[in-house]
Each structure stands twice: as structure tokens, then as C-alpha cells.
Amino acid sequence: MPTLLRVLGATTALGVALGGLSSCSAADRAVLTAPRCSDASAAPAPAPDRNAPGQAVLMAPTVRGPLPVGPVRGWEQVVSVADGGVSLAAVHPDGTVSVLGIDHENSLAGTAWDGEEVSAPRKVPGVVDAVSVAAVGASFLVTHSDGTVTGWGDPLIADGGVRHKDVDGLGPTRLGDVTDVVTIADGALNVLALRGDGGVTGWGINLTDSLGEPNGTRVREIEDVPGSVSVANPGDAAIVATGAGEVCAWGNNANGLLGLEPRGGQTTTPVRVGNLQGITEVAGGLDFALALDSEGRVWAWGRTVSGVLGDGSTDDTSITTARQVVGIPPLERIFAADSASYGIDPDGGLWAWGGNRRTGPFETQGRLPQLVPLPGPAREVSGNVVLLGPPN
């Protein structure tokens, strides 16, 4: 009798599930039936080499900021940079961090008052042993050599999704529930942190399910993520490259970031994006994503209004099938910021396509991929600031 009851219960549940599926929209059904990613182990790349510092170069003015375009004074020897829009942060070889720009929600970590313009780097108090820094909204997040994270700025981001009342900004705060972090993706409303075990930790705004379950803002390990080697935060969705060379995404598909037709639908469960193979790195801008494969080819999908496909088109549409970006050599790294896409070739040449806020000697014409003139080889890009490496 128990066996019969289990069979009857399973049959009833299947009927309910099928009935619910038939009542869903086509976009919802596409998400529910989408292929899942393969199981994979992962060994994410370590943070930037602290023994190879370089010059930070600002390619466009900070928003409402006083900083001149060009090499940043005081940041001739830094190992990681982050562009928060109105303010910048950099990690020095000794593990300390400095900031400059305009203070907003304590983005300058208590070294200035709200709205003050700071044109010379100021040391962030109490932060040591840092290896990299990322910008998320009005916050900066530093990853330490032991995998822990310190944040400051917007309280929701800087303090692990804790909602603070009547607090405009937080000073440097060590996040106790965040460990084993290798790198954090630049973002806007929430945090996606890649761990050394290939998992992803997240916190912040979760309106589009890009933080998975449970709903809420607090720190959580995002469930069912295959072993990942790279993570991107394009806004509506979360995207990873897995140890199997596949691309997985979860969240909202309004702009096609999940790679599904018809667009729309939303899920907390990672799904495989198209037939991308051999992918080693992903990057995310504003509602679009890039993927780099093992042969150095770059693929783009999502919202294309900014020319992110690199074909010169700026039509406002969204695509779900990743298209290869042409007109560029094989690349070793990719980056994306707002409406701009970047790639670094084996010689350190910086290629750019899509939106163009760059000015002065770093400006390029049109939306086709072009080589950005720099005074040295590029190593890392965040927003409109590029970190140069030592000469090749």
C-alpha cells in the first residue's frame, strides 16, 4: 500500500506540474525547460600578481569629478584598480589601498566628507593585506590574501546586505560571513564573488533572482552553480564560465542574458547559455555579456544598443544567441563596463568597441573594434581606468 500511495502521489504531482507548465507563458516555459550546465570542477585564477605593479591610467573623466584624463599621479605602482564612477580605488604592492575622486556615500572611506573632491590619493584607514579591489554601485570591496573581504560605501553592499537605517555610508567593514573569495565582479546593485572552490557568494538587491534563493539581501552561497572559473555581473542576471568550458546564467532573461527564446522569464537555477564551448572568461556590462574562448575569440550577447557586437551597429535590440566579435586579434583577457567592451591581446594591446566615453589620446572613432593608444601594455580594466603592466 505505501508503494501504491507513492505512485499515486507522484502521478498527481506530475499532473499538477504539467498543468502549471501549460499555463505559463512561452518565456517561462523556455526557462523551465532550458538545458542545465554540466557538472564541473574548477580552479579559478588567483588575484593579480602583487609583485608586478603598474601605472593606473584614466581614459575618461570621472562623473562630475576633478581628475584629469591620463596617468593617475600617485598610482604609478599599483596592482589592482576599480572605477566607481565618481571615485576610484587602487591596491598598492604593500597591500594597502588608496582612493580619490568625489566622495559619495562614503566611497572615499572616511577620508573626505560627502561631495568633497579629492585629486590626490588618500590611504584607506585600517585596510591591509589587500590583493584586489572591485566597484559595486557606490561601494568598493577589497579582497584580502586570506580570501576575506572588506567593504565601504553604500551600507547594503559594504556590510553584506545588512539594511542599515539612517546611515549614509559605512567605513571599512570586514564581512564576517564572506570567505575563500578569489575575485569580485564589478556591478551595480548586488555582489557576485567567485570563491576558490568554484562556487559563488552573493548579496545585495535580488529583484531578478540573480542571487538565487532565498529571497533577501543577506550574504548567501548561490546554490547549484557548477564549478566556475570566472564570474560576470551584467545587471539582470549572473553569468559564469565553468570548469567544463560552458557558460551558465541565472536571473532574468528580459535582455536575453540567459540565451533563451523567447526573451523574458526568470529563474534562480543556472541554465546553459547556447552552445558556447571552451570558454575561459566572462565579462558583463550594462545588460550585455561577453565570453572569451580558449582560442582567443570573443562572443557577445544581450542588449546591443551600445554596439557591443563590434559590428558598428547601435540598434537597440537584444540577442539571445552569442555572436563572435570580428575585427580583433586573438585576445587573452576581456572586460566590460557600462556600454563599453574591452579586450587585451598577448602583447598588452587594449582593444575597445561599443560605447566610447574615452577622451583625449585614448579616444577612438566609431563603434568598431579599435586599438586604444596607451603608454604601456594593458593588464586590467575597470570602468574607464586601465592598469598598465610592466613592459613585455
**Which pLDDT does position 357 carry in this prediction?**
83
Residue 369 reports pLDDT greater than 60: yes
What is the C-alpha separation between 335 and 278, in angstroms, rounded? 18
* Residue among 21, 28, 30 nearest 273 (CA): 30
Segments in 90-180 forming alpha helices (H) = 155-158
Q: Is the pTM of this model over 0.75?
A: yes
CA distance 223 to 335: 26
**Residue 348 identity:** G
All structural domains of the chain with their residue ranges: 40-388
Q: What percent of the chain stands above pLDDT 90?
A: 76
pLDDT of the residue at 9: 41
pLDDT in tens, 122-168: 999 999 999 999 999 999 999 999 999 999 999 999 999 998 887 88
Q: Is the pLDDT of residue 48 over 90?
A: no
- Write out pLDDT tens, residues 250-285: 999 999 999 999 999 999 999 999 989 999 999 999
Instruction: Average the pLDDT over 43-69 and give the result.
Output: 81
Calculate mean pLDDT across residues 346-370: 90
pLDDT at residue 3 in the model: 37
Average pLDDT over residues 161-188: 93
Q: Tell me how far apart the alpha carbons of residues 330 and 338 are, in angstroms, rounded to a whole number.
A: 23
State how far the Cα of 176 lies from the Cα of 366, in Å rounded to an integer. Answer: 46
- Are 91 and 124 in contact by the 8 Å Cβ rule? The answer is no
Instruction: From residue 210, give the alpha-carbon distance in Å to each of 104, 207, 339, 352.
Output: 26, 8, 20, 27
Q: pLDDT at residue 45 above 50?
A: yes
Say if residues 213 and 63 touch (Cβ distance below 8 Å). Answer: no
Instruction: Give the 3-state secondary structure of residue 381.
Output: strand
At 333 the pLDDT is: 97
C-alpha cell read off for 74: 600617485
pLDDT band per the 50, 70, 90 thresholds, residue 351: very high
In this prediction, residue 234 carries a pLDDT of 96
Q: Within its chain, how far is the Cα of 217 from the centroid?
A: 18
What band does 40 get if pLDDT is binned at 50, 70 and 90? confident
- In CATH terms, 40-388 corresponds, of 3.10.20.30, 2.130.10.30, 3.40.50.2020, 3.50.30.40, to 2.130.10.30
Number of helices (H) and strands (E), helices first, in the chain? 3, 28
C-alpha 274, offset from chain centre: 20
Over 80: is that where the pLDDT of 22 sits?
no
Residue matched to cell numbers 502549471: 20
Strand partners, 231: 240
Neighbours of 229 (CB within 10 A): 23
Is residue 320 within 8 Å of residue 337, measured between CB atoms?
no
